Structure 1
């Protein structure tokens, strides 16, 4: 078990060097107030991170069960039960514009969340497992004047992506790189590792149900808003996953490639480690918006996380945009959560 402390430095929340705590119980001599990160590990168990905020003079009891390593699917992290700060502390016009809730303490139970957004490679595996009629219904497609995306499978062979982020269209088949002519970095990428987009809330829900039904990810489902926001910000009041400001290359948003019309477009998942969350989850700022389920009990679709075309403000972790379940947009994708199964031991 180790303990690290978050401190604010230049707009980022920076972790101190880890301090080993061994196996003995913690008391007030071990832990000072502030925003902390506990990392717990044991042989045969999945490593678990637990961000926690401790106020001055507060005593906190933490009971954290480490799941067997085999109970956490590859590419997922286990989030233990715990509390966090939910919403936005800003009052007035900004909070209203982002439709964020007032900042308040909240809790979630245990859940699993994918480190990365669902990719085109993931989605193509899903499509190939579907009957032809459903495959046609679930194939990503979105056509707007300024954003076009279409995934096609000519004659049932290799898939091909058509992407028009702004003024120029790009095509690439499976095995080919997609190239952005307006970029000085990350100009050629494997589009199969782009986050899938132009899928509806209904599509994403069906995909999660397929993961659960086939045993690929038992208990798979879309994340609730509270689960998504806790995974993005940890326990404290940070604005973005990595801190209180978002530099151009911290995530894929409008300023990342200089707002060049030939530079806009998605990046491979995990391409911006500077904005990894305290739980080690990537791309919860920028790249594509992610479908979540509303926190008010109505189970309505809500978009979270910002996109490669929007400004940094839309990537604020508390930003939320209610939507309708049939929307398909080149800026909207998904991330999977799951309900943990009972421990196998």
Structure 2
């Protein structure tokens, strides 16, 4: 895991970002305690361990609509690709590992740091090669040139990622400054976008256009969603 130190950053649409959407506004200051986040997205190989431990559900077959994804962990040659799964599967895996899903604020801070960059690697065009706008996912961690300021990989492309917050398109107007964890209580009817639990999805996937790779982009629906886990606090000191 990568340690992300406590810090303050501007969350939401960066100045000069012409692709900004309404749910990324208003830009607001957020203060986070230190936390740890997985350097890579959880792979099929890692998820298989949870299945074998009977703590995660087995994926039975790839749906044709999810071609190129890893929703079937038995597909040969895809063990190092990111797991494509539902929110509950992601939650179960992280709990099994003694971790949790990152909050939306933690995810964005890990993706962009403190300099308000629009993309994890900076403000320029996506480096090539990078796993986006193509026909399939890539092995996790295979594109170090797309690393975030903290060294976290695949935060733009490969698979989009579940975070723990419930989606609310106007949440930023009421978000607390310290360690926000998403809306509390029912979402007002005028802001409800789906029935039941509606988690936020971040990061864009291998099938996404460039606009969806931006570190501030938010959504609640995507065909190709995986995850990484987080943990509160700092890394334990190394053994002497």
Summarize the Cα distance change of 1:145–1:91 in structure 2 as closer, same or farther, 3 Å threshold.
same
CA distance in 1, matches of 2:61, 2:32: 34
Displacement of 1:196 in angstroms is: 0.7
Q: Which residue of 2 aligns with 1:204?
A: 90
2:111 equivalent to 1:232: yes
Structure with the greater relative contact order (CA < 8 A, sep ≥ 6): 1 or 2? 2
Structure 1 residues 238 and 210: CA distance shift in structure 2, 3 A: same
Task: Give the TM-score normalised by structure 2.
Answer: 0.77
State the Cα RMSD in Å.
Answer: 2.8
Q: TM-score normalised to the size of structure 1?
A: 0.55
Aligned to 2:187: none
* Residue matched to 1:36: none
1:111 deviates by 0.8
Q: CA deviation at 1:311?
A: 0.8
1:334 aligns to 2:227 (yes or no): yes
What is the 5 A alignment of 1:1-345?
Answer: 76-89=1-14, 94-96=19-21, 99-130=23-54, 137-139=57-59, 143-145=63-65, 147=67, 149=69, 160-161=74-75, 172=76, 177=77, 191-197=78-84, 199-212=85-98, 220-247=99-126, 249=128, 251-254=130-133, 264-294=135-165, 295-298=181-184, 301-323=199-221, 329=223, 331-340=224-233
Is the contact between residue 272 and residue 283 of structure 1 (CA under 8 Å) also seen in structure 2?
yes
Q: CA deviation at 1:148?
A: 6.5
1 or 2, which has the higher strand percentage?
1
CA contact (8 A) 2:132 2:208 kept: yes
Deviations 1:127-159 (A, max 9, x none): 1110xxx65x4427552546365666xxxxxx6
Measured against aligned partners, the alpha-carbon deviations of 1:70-100 in whole angstroms (never above 9, x if no partner) come to xxxxxx0111211112111358984226x31
Structure 1: gaps (5+ residues): 1-75, 153-158, 162-171, 178-190, 213-219
Report the count of equivalent residues. Answer: 211
Moved more, 82-91 or 293-302: 293-302
Distance 1:225 1:79 in 2: 14
SS at match of 2:182: coil
Decide which structure has the larger Cα Rg and report it: 1
